[in-house]
């Protein structure tokens, strides 16, 4: 079955893609942290951030449409959070705009990060940066099994829909859904057991090896320098 997953442009070949995962994690985290402390009234700083994002997005070769599509999907939630602000007068408007800018910028940065780094490399970078082994292992299992279980859900939904006509009552609907979830759960457990036995018998010791890892190069140095200069300029004012 077909999946439209979110790191679909991670296999491109741009200079941003060629960076080591750690560089990108540290760099984008620093940028995200900085943008949260931009003063609401200094619009110029927000535009500097947008300018930097535009350059990075251009380098990354990810289609603009996709980039903004993903960034704007979540905007309704932000709108909901900030909906009361404009009623506080002029200052409220400033805060509201700042909230919008910050959210869009953070989203853009995260979309860029996840779409320029293969997921397995992202995890490897997190691990090397000291993220707990168990969390990284969990995330990689999640990534591998997401597609399998999503297929399972699609099949189950198809099976349910082809066995009934129209909609049942609320109570019955809930009971069906509960049973479906239960079935999915039992199958997941069984799968996990089989999987673990198979992995143990093949020598699994808690970490996944990565083929063709990126190396630290002059590109990483350049990227980190640019980010550091930018952050310093923003904080110094």
Partner 1 sequence: MVPVMGVLSAFVFAAQMLNFPVFGGTSGHLLGGALLGILLGPLGGLMTMATVIVAQALFLQDGGILALGANVFNMGALPVFFGYAVFRMLGSPQRPGKALGFLGFFVGWASVVISASVCALELGISGAVPLKIGLPAMAGFHAVLGVVEGALTAGVLSFLARVRPDLIRGDSGARFGLADWIGGFVMVAIPVGILVLAGASKLPDALQSLLAGVPGSAKPAANLLSAGRYTDYGVVLYCAILLLFVVAYLAARAGQNRRGGP
185 binds partner 1 per the rule CB under 8 A: yes
- Stretch binding partner 1 (CB under 8 A), from 16-24, 49-57, 188-196, 212-220: 188-196
Cβ(49)–Cβ(2) below 8 Å:
no
Contact range with partner 1 by CB under 8 A, out of 49-57, 58-66, 171-179, 223-231: 171-179
Residue 32 engages partner 1 in binding (rule: CB under 8 A): yes
- Longest C-alpha distance within the chain, in Å? 66
Minimal distance in Å, beta carbon 179 to partner 1? 5
CB 34 within 8 A of CB 235: yes
Q: Which residues contact 107 (CB under 8 A, 6 or more apart)?
A: 70, 71, 72, 74
Stretch of 31-39, 50-58, 216-224, 225-233 lying at the interface with partner 1 (CB under 8 A):
31-39
Measure the CA dihedral 38/41/47/48, to 10°: -50
CA-wise closest residue to 50 among 126, 107, 12:
107
- 8 Å CB contact between 99 and 2: no
User: Contact between 43 and partner 1 (CB under 8 A)?
Assistant: no
Q: Please report whether residue 186 would count as binding partner 1 according to CB under 8 A.
A: yes
Among 58, 63, 69, 178, which residue interacts with partner 1 (rule: CB under 8 A)?
178
Is 221 a binding residue for partner 1 by CB under 8 A? The answer is no
Q: Kindly tell me the burial class for residue 14, based on how many C-beta atoms sit within 10 Å of its own C-beta (0-12, 13-18, 19 or more).
A: middle
- Interface contacts to partner 1, rule CB under 8 A: 5-7, 29, 32-33, 36-41, 70-71, 74, 84, 106-107, 110-111, 114, 122, 132-135, 137-146, 148-150, 152-153, 157, 173-175, 177-186, 188-189, 191-193, 195-196, 199, 206, 235, 237
């Amino acid at each position: 079955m077909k999946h439209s997953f979110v790191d679909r442009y991670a296999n491109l070949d741009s200079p941003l893609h060629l960076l080591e995962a750690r560089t990108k994690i540290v760099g984008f985290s620093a940028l995200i942290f900085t943008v949260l402390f931009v003063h609401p009234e200094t619009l110029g700083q927000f535009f500097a951030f947008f300018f930097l994002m535009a350059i990075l997005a251009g380098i990354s070769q990810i289609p603009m449409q996709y980039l903004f599509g993903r960034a704007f999907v979540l905007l309704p939630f932000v709108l909901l959070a900030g909906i009361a602000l404009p009623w506080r007068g002029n200052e409220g408007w400033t805060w509201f705009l700042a909230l919008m800018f910050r959210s869009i910028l953070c989203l853009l940065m995260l979309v860029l990060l996840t779409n320029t780094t293969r997921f397995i490399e992202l995890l490897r970078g997190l691990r090397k940066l000291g993220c707990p082994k168990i969390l990284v292992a969990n995330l990689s299992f999640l990534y591998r099994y997401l597609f399998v279980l999503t297929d399972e859900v699609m099949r189950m939904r198809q099976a349910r829909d082809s066995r009934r006509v129209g909609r049942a009552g609320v109570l019955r609907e809930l009971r069906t859904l509960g049973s479906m979830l239960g079935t999915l759960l039992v199958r997941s457990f069984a799968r996990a057991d089989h999987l673990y036995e198979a992995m143990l018998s093949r020598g699994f010791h808690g970490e996944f090896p990565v083929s063709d890892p990126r190396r630290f190069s002059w590109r990483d140095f350049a990227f980190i320098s640019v980010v550091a200069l930018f952050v310093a300029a923003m904080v110094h004012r």
